[in-house]
Amino acid sequence: MKKSKSKRARRNFTAEYKQNVVDLVARGEKSVNEISRDLDLSESAVRRWIKLAEHSDKGSLVAHEAESEELRRLRAEIRVLKQEREILVKAAAFVCHEHG
């Protein structure tokens, strides 16, 4: 009979923690598999953190998370600006119609 694995609750890690794990891997003293096992992390999560750090402009997860937060903030700001522009266009059309 197969032993069913119970699903573990999702854990959240800080960017600093993730960066420390990536730095451990970069030192090359242990494999990704060993580090994952030692820290009770999934190997896929550690590999994903390594990949994110490699693709960050500054090569760190802390920088990557800061970039992601800035991107979210800028997208929200663009949404507001588009709404404001739409209101101004409608107001201008209304004023031109009233005076024209």
> Is the predicted pLDDT of residue 89 greater than 90, yes or no?
yes
> Is the predicted pLDDT of residue 75 greater than 70, yes or no?
yes
Cα–Cα distance measured from residue 64 to residue 43, given in angstroms and rounded to the nearest whole number? 20
Determine the pLDDT at residue 25. Answer: 94
Stretch (H or E) spanning 62: helix 61-99
Determine the pLDDT at residue 55. Answer: 79
Under 8 Å between Cβ of 66 and 74? no
pTM for the predicted model, two decimal places: 0.57
Tens digit of each residue's pLDDT (9 = 90 or more) over 14-65:
989 999 999 999 999 999 999 999 999 999 999 999 998 887 766 677 777 8
